[in-house]
């Protein structure tokens, strides 16, 4: 069970790393797609992280956010894969949908979809969240049929009531099942509401918190990567 946390937005931000981040604004999506690797791109496949401030590294910088830590893991294992961080603070599922076509211009091996936290924070209709996530996956699969899909499960603020939070939670598992995608049950498991793992606002993971997030992601992502490399024309490095 989630625990209450102190500080601003506490009632609404037990579980969202992007809570209280800047609201959506018209942006050039290209300005928010950060390549976090030092690996030469010519012989590498791409893992695209499409997400919110949690993915972007709000408050600490992209170099300490979990996508960069995943890149370190990939490099340590000599996997020929390159992380692209398409996290944007304040992003909703609708915003992610608006950006997905630009983000898919480079061929991808895996899409890690970390969206929904801001939808829940704002109490947006769950039907819209479901529709937007489905459309993002459908566009990805249409362009890259063999791409792996990983969905990061989130939780809605408890102040929105039991029916909303239950339906919100179920969206991620339902969509993962529908599209035969892999699911991270709760991205912030073991991090949300733990003061020592969050920044002073009590809601955005600090550097150690991001390490824990990376561990949650890697547990699900690693088997997907192994599967993709086994079936991909991307040259396999010694590992």
Query: Got the DSSP string for 160-197?
Result: G-HHHHHHHHHHHHHHHHHTT-EEES-TTTTTTT-GGG
Distance CA 49, CA 86 (A): 5
Strand-strand pairing, 81-87 and 34-35: antiparallel
Of 18, 103, 119, 204, the catalytic one is 204
Question: Taking a C-beta distance cutoff of 8 angstroms, is the pair 22, 58 a contact?
Answer: no
Check 24, 35, 174, 201 and give the catalytic one: 201
Catalytic residue status for 76: no
Lateral strand order in the sheet of 182-184: 34-35, 81-87, 45-51, 110-114, 148-152, 182-184
Strands (DSSP E) contained in the chain are 34-35, 45-51, 81-87, 110-114, 148-152, 182-184
101 catalytic residue (yes or no): no
Which among 18, 32, 53, 103 is annotated as catalytic?
53
Q: Is 127 a catalytic residue?
A: no
Enter the tokens of residue 67: 């996508």
Dihedral, 51, 177, 45, 95 alpha carbons, nearest 10: -30
Residues noted as catalytic = 53, 201, 204
């Amino acid at each position: 069970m989630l625990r209450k946390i102190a500080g601003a937005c506490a009632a609404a931000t037990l579980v969202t790393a992007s809570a209280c981040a800047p609201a959506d604004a018209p942006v050039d999506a290209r300005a928010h797609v950060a390549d976090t690797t030092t690996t030469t791109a010519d012989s590498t496949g791409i893992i695209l992280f499409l997400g919110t401030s949690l993915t972007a590294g709000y408050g600490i910088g992209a170099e300490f956010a979990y996508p960069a830590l995943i890149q370190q893991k990939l490099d340590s294992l000599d996997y020929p894969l390159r992380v692209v961080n398409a996290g944007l603070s304040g992003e909703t599922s609708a915003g992610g949908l608006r950006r997905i076509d630009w983000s898919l211009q480079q061929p991808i091996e895996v899409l890690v979809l970390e969206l929904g936290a801001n939808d829940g924070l704002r109490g947006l209709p769950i039907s819209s969240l479901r529709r937007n996530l489905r459309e993002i996956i459908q566009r990805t699969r249409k362009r890259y049929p063999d791409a792996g899909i990983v969905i990061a499960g989130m939780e809605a603020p408890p102040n929105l009531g039991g029916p909303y939070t239950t339906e919100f939670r179920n969206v991620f598992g339902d969509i993962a099942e529908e599209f035969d995608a892999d699911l991270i049950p709760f991205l912030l498991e073991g991090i949300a509401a733990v003061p020592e793992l969050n920044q002073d606002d009590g809601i955005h993971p600090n550097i150690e918190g991001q390490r824990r997030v990376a561990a949650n992601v890697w547990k699900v992502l690693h088997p997907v990567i192994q599967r993709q490399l086994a079936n991909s024309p991307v040259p396999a490095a010694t590992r």
